[in-house]
Structure 1
Amino acid sequence: MGNDKTNMIVAIALSLAVLLGWNYFIAAPRVEQQRQAALQDKAASSTVDGVPSPSPKEGGPANPVPGTLPNTQGAVEPREAVIARAPRVTIDTPALAGSIALKGGRIDDVSLKNYHETVDDKSPRIVLLSPTGTANPYYAEFGWVGQNTGPLPNGDTVWTADGTTLASGKPVTLTYDNGAGLLFKRVIAVDDKFMFTVRDEVENKGTKAVNLYPYGLVSRWGKPHTQGYYVLHEGMIGVLGADGLQEYTYDHLAKEPALGNVSTKGKSWTGVTGGFVGITDKYWAAATIPDQSAAYTGSFTERTDGATKVYQANVLGGVQTVEPGATASATQQLFAGAKEVNTINNYQKDLGIKQFDLMIDWGWFHFITKPMFRALDFFFHLFGNFGVAILVVTLCLKTLFLPIANKSYKSMAKMKAVQPEMASIRERYGDDKVKQQQAMMELYKKEKINPVAGCWPVLIQIPVFFALYKVLFITIEMRHAPFFGWIQDLAAPDPTNILNLFGLLPFAAPDLFHLGVWPIIMGITMFVQMKMNPAPPDPVQAQIFTFMPIVFTFMLGSFPAGLVIYWAWNNTLSVIQQYVIMRRNGVKVELWDNLSGMFKKKPAGKNAVAKS
């Protein structure tokens, strides 16, 4: 009875792992959409605190949300044609290529030199930012807003540059005179990674004081394709002072109340100090970062521009009064690049950006996912291969949990040693389950056996499995990271498929039945591990254990190859560990008998059950 209970608990745990894994990684996006819809309905029916008044006070900004005035996209042209049409300052750093438009002064042309669309280094570079007039405008803009100031720089302003190339350690200065007494200067610098520094200055050459508000924004035209996984946030992201991390999907913004004007919806936070606002994809992001010591208003907005939805992350600084003959300035930063873990962390540390590390979606279980990544990253730098790092980290985890696993396997070994006595108890008490259970408990107490100890290795493995999946899924370091042989991307599924004999047959197998080499290896290791134990006497349990490796094999067929490699390696180590412990405890290893028994005709009747 005790062994039955243990087997049943393990079977339930494995079944739960399947169900949880499938729902968490595959089916949950639909659940998340429903949850977001409920949140949106709730938000739409509530009022928003701290939203700037649509009717600003005298001297205040004409529009409390910068950059949301109508600006029709017009005809769409090829990206190269749009970039070539207007004068620009070239961006050329070790990590970035692109340009800054002198018309508008926007940072609107950025591609990533070290990242490509596929594993082939000759494939096109990742394009992050693009100007208006292209199919998918996505840009950063900085400047001033106010009233009674004369013309202020906007998207149509033509600036004058003092250089032709922006490079690391080589800033450029843009200049614009509004002809009404205000001289604007914009000094743009960039480091060797992904951080721009933008210093806006205004000199008042007129006879009256003016009130100006510095702003920065990231604007994206059109809703991009999103993967829609619950474990990944894509859309608006920011850390807004004491309000902490704020994440809004593109669909979420559509249900927010009007903000600033009737065509703009969104969410605003006032009196914020520290943090950032931006737009994030799975691996890339663009975010504007205000002065970390000055108060500002941060907002996420959506507006309709013709048939196009425009999504923005905005920062609006406090008023600066510029007296005649005086100068005002505001410094902001722009992150535009890949969400590399070490780069993000260094920016947080060196620039003092509040919780900038949350730009990477570590999730609720960050206390597991972050250390998991750190361990993988350490061994990657040691061995130069993330696949090898996964193998080494798995070995380290097995060593760390060795006392628990040993205790579990020893208890399982004792269970096997008393199988004859357990069978005798079943025969002695027949259908009297109460007496049978009492006798079993006495036997456990006498032999010092914990009947549920066998569940611990499975339960320990589940959070590790989830953490590794999260790391493989969200961190750009895993993107296009090769292992050996045919695995050139640990973050993607095994590209081989048994249906076309792993590429030998000249046709592409359907993704629905994708089953590669590594998932099959994983299934075999799981099958062997289960066959280390005697077959459960209950036919239902036996069927569950028989089909469990098959279910896992097909389920993990579409999972990242790195995760499948981990599972296969972990199973292999568990088999070795269990074999050694069983032999040390003088318990027969059932593996060979179970394997050979699969090909023999099983005897019928009551004795067959007893012998099993």
Structure 2
Amino acid sequence: MDNQRNLILAVVLSALLLFGWDFAMRTFYPEPETAPIDAASREDAPMQRVDGGDGTTGIDVGDGMERPLNLDAELATADRITIDAPEIAGTLNPVGARIDDIVLKTHRQTVDDDSGPIRLFAPRGTEGQQFARFDWVGEGVETPGAETVWQVTQGETLTDETPVELRWDNGSGQEFVLRFAIDDHYMFTVTQTVLNTGEGSIALRPRGLINRTSDTATASTWNVHSGPIAEGGGEVNFDFDYEDVTEARRVDLQGNTNWLGFTDIYWMSALVADSESASSGFFAPLGGSNFAAVLEYEAVTVPANGSMTRTTQLFAGAKESGLLDAYEDSGISNFGRAIDWGWFGFIAWPMWQVLIFLFGLLGNFGLAIIGLTIIIRAVLFPIAQKQFASMAQLRAVQPKMKALQERHKDDKQKLQQEMAKLYKEEKVNPLGGCLPIFIQIPIFFALYKVLLLAIEMRHQPFTYIRDLSAQDPATILNLFGLLDFTPPSFLAIGILAVLLGFTMWLQFKLNPAAMDPMQQQIFMIMPWVLMFVMAPFAAGLLLYWISNNILTLAQQKYLYSKNPQLREQMLKEKEEKARAAEREKAATDDA
């Protein structure tokens, strides 16, 4: 009866874990209702009014908008300057000199071949607005603003080989110049120059800002940051999300700010300060769901017939690890750490390097994951051998342990003392078999973070799977898509999830049977509980776990062949436990 009660309790707890996990993830870390890639083209949602003269932020963002503007109509306005770089296309708006139209040529919205490119920047007033602007702040001098119409004085198209220059004269002896250049990836270089031909000196503070809506942002979760990001003092700051900025009204960054902006899981827009000039930064709400990241330089006095120049970079693109590291090598402090590898970054980063190498070698991300799994198992193989040696030692002293348990069953303290003495005399480490498990935990979480953040895995296929970064699409409940309905997430069990449960069940079956019948019952249920829990995760992560289970089974078979006495003893114990269970069942039936 006790075993039956314990089994029922185990089933109930497993069900609570299964449904509680799904409820918690949906409640505290909901997925965004609409993908950021589509939001800029929708016209049906209301737009919060933007206050253009917020005294708290000091940011001129122009007149308020009562409704979202049509994206196509805004991009059709005259005199826009074309941007045509190897990985970026779009336009630059001469009104306000805003970079407000960017699509990423090398990243699609969906896995479909005819899917359009990712839209990162969209004009002010559209629902997916995100743009960058560069200006000056000064007293007693007229500076260009959000509605200033700039004149193109050099270049017709902004490419990686041809820069564009804009000028504006305030009519009072000051001329402002913006020179835009772009590299062959995602980095703009914006040079701000002021020419003072007036009679007296002027004081100006150059600055750049990124304006974006949080409506299209990736949801920020406990292990993936989405929102404001900044670097200063040698540290990358992931401390604030959009709600924090709203509550604080303005978040000033301490010390010198090297770069700041907004990040999603895969995309980022960031302003990079001139390394030779002191700079500061802050984040501020602009009303509704709009926010600004502002990079300011110290005020500079420009004498009569003098000039002043500041150069700021703007990154607007995909968070490709190798590219961010290359920018860091070129002098942008900690830019590679814009990808938050988490607590186990010391494991995740080298693991990622190996994975990328295998991807380049094998040409398929699924094969690269399997290859990485093989390498990890090979590295851990000596530890597994020690685990089996420890298991063999424990099995060898099992009769002595049972004798001690019988002898001191009423005196737990004495039993613990005698057991410790036995372990010391027999040179047995009872925790030796746990070491591989503890080592696997940080490896698993590190790989989980790698596969979650790696844009290189996005839209990568493997066999029937079209996107390893997404959930397994072949769910059993709707007959692999033949039935026209989508199962709820906790019932969307795919082929990979079933394989995960089955291989884990085989792994437990091959292990030595637990002495406690309750433990045996839990071990038999746990694989199928994890099958439900892991089903919503990225297919790439499940592929790793399945590969790991298969390799573990092969490894166990091999080590059992090298330690036949352990295998024989395990089988003997299983037979004894089976006979004991039959005797107990017979006694219960007779009663």
Write the distance in 1 (CA, Å) between the matches of 2:572 and 2:510: 9
Matched residue, 2:315? 335
Contact 1:253 1:301 in 2 (8 A): yes
Contact 2:60 2:145 in 1 (8 A): no
Query: Which residue of 114, 133, 158 corresponds with 1:166?
Result: 158
How many Å apart are 1:452 and its aligned residue? 2.1
How many Å apart are 1:75 and its aligned residue? 3.8
How many Å apart are 1:69 and its aligned residue? 5.8
Matched residue, 2:222? 230
Cα distance, 1:607–1:274 mapped onto 2, change above 3 Å: same
Query: Which residue of 470, 475, 482 corresponds with 2:449?
Result: 470
- Superposition map of 1:175-324 within 5 A: 175-241=167-233, 245-256=237-248, 265-269=249-253, 272-273=255-256, 275-304=258-287, 308-324=288-304
Q: Deviations over 1:477-530 (max 9, x none)?
A: 1211222x1122222121111212333445433323111111111111111111
The aligned amino acid for 1:584 is: K
**Any idea what SS the aligned residue of 1:588 has?**
helix
Matched residue, 2:48? none
How many Å apart are 1:247 and its aligned residue? 3.3
Write the distance in 1 (CA, Å) between the matches of 2:293 and 2:145: 17
Q: Deviations over 1:172-196 (max 9, x none)?
A: 1112122221112211000010000
Deviates more, 1:504-513 or 1:295-304: 504-513
Contact 1:104 1:157 in 2 (8 A): yes
Cα distance, 1:418–1:528 mapped onto 2, change above 3 Å: farther
Write the distance in 1 (CA, Å) between the matches of 2:426 and 2:586: 26
1:543 aligns with 2:521: yes
Write the distance in 1 (CA, Å) between the matches of 2:106 and 2:269: 17
Matched residue, 2:136? 144
Matched residue, 2:326? 346
Q: Which runs of 5+ in 2 are unaligned?
A: 1-9, 31-53
Write the distance in 2 (CA, Å) between the matches of 1:571 and 1:378: 23
**Any idea what SS the aligned residue of 2:68 has?**
coil
Q: Deviations over 1:108-156 (max 9, x none)?
A: 0001111111111311211101111312221000021101113x21111
Matched residue, 1:461? 440
Deviates more, 1:237-246 or 1:425-434: 425-434
1:603 aligns with 2:586: no
Contact 1:410 1:581 in 2 (8 A): no
Cα distance, 1:589–1:235 mapped onto 2, change above 3 Å: farther
1:91 aligns with 2:83: yes
Matched residue, 2:472? 494
How many Å apart are 1:269 and its aligned residue? 3.5
Write the distance in 2 (CA, Å) between the matches of 1:433 and 1:147: 81
Write the distance in 2 (CA, Å) between the matches of 1:606 and 1:449: 35
Q: Deviations over 1:575-603 (max 9, x none)?
A: 22222222222232699999999999951
Matched residue, 1:408? 387
Q: Aligned residue pairs: how many?
A: 550
**Any idea what SS the aligned residue of 1:503 has?**
coil
1:153 aligns with 2:144: yes
Matched residue, 1:512? 490
Write the distance in 1 (CA, Å) between the matches of 2:562 and 2:571: 18
Matched residue, 1:120? 112
Matched residue, 2:563? 585
Cα distance, 1:600–1:168 mapped onto 2, change above 3 Å: farther
1:78 aligns with 2:78: no
Matched residue, 1:391? 370
Cα distance, 1:139–1:539 mapped onto 2, change above 3 Å: same
Write the distance in 2 (CA, Å) between the matches of 1:594 and 1:553: 29
Contact 2:227 2:242 in 1 (8 A): yes
Cα distance, 1:441–1:575 mapped onto 2, change above 3 Å: farther
**Any idea what SS the aligned residue of 2:567 has?**
coil
The aligned amino acid for 1:71 is: D
How many Å apart are 1:290 and its aligned residue? 1.2
The aligned amino acid for 1:477 is: E
1:572 aligns with 2:550: yes
Write the distance in 1 (CA, Å) between the matches of 2:278 and 2:434: 53
Identity rate, percent:
39
**Any idea what SS the aligned residue of 1:315 has?**
strand
The aligned amino acid for 2:295 is: V
How many Å apart are 1:244 and its aligned residue? 5.1
Matched residue, 1:131? 123
